[in-house]
């Protein structure tokens, strides 16, 4: 992790935590204001619910949140390892060397075919029968 990417991540994390704290403070401040000045019994237009309408976040908190998320994403991308080029020949050659000359599809070419369950059942029954005959003899 380079110093620059670590610094961008730290700045983005600090900004995001500050934006979350600011949003919490704004919400608690708005709820305190509306509860202090909200008198449903004196209101001419009383509604069934006495909860105040939700207040939107200020623009500076929203911008700070988006900026902090962008900074965190940039820091993570800067910290990521370099992508390796995808070359079929190189990968297939490496797999062939590791597997001893079979190639990348060796597992598919050498797989077991369908099993004959009836044949196996008959062999098992014969084995049980032979085992029972040897015990009795």
pLDDT number for residue 74: 95
First to last CA, the chain: 76
% of the chain exceeding 70 in pLDDT? 80
pLDDT number for residue 60: 95
Is the entire prediction scored with pTM above 0.75?
no
Query: pLDDT grade, residue 46 (50/70/90)?
Result: very low
Please state, as a whole number, how many other Cβ atoms lie within 10 Å of the Cβ of residue 125: 10
- In the predicted model, what is the mean pLDDT of residues 58-84? 93
Q: Which residue, 55, 63, 76, is CA-closest to 19?
A: 63
Q: Which residue, 78, 99, 111, is CA-closest to 6?
A: 78
């Amino acid at each position: 992790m380079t110093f620059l990417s670590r610094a961008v991540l730290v700045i983005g994390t600090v900004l995001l935590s500050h934006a979350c704290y600011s949003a919490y403070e704004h919400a608690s401040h708005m709820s305190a204001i509306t509860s202090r000045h909200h008198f449903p019994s004196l209101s001419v237009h009383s509604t069934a619910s006495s909860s105040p309408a939700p207040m939107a976040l200020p623009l500076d908190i929203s911008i700070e949140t988006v900026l902090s998320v962008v900074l965190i994403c940039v820091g993570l991308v800067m910290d990521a390892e370099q992508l390796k080029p995808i070359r079929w020949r190189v990968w297939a050659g490496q797999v062939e060397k590791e597997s001893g000359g079979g190639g990348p599809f060796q597992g598919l070419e050498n797989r077991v075919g369908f099993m004959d369950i009836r044949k196996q059942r008959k062999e098992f029954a014969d084995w049980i029968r032979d085992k029972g005959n040897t015990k009795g003899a």
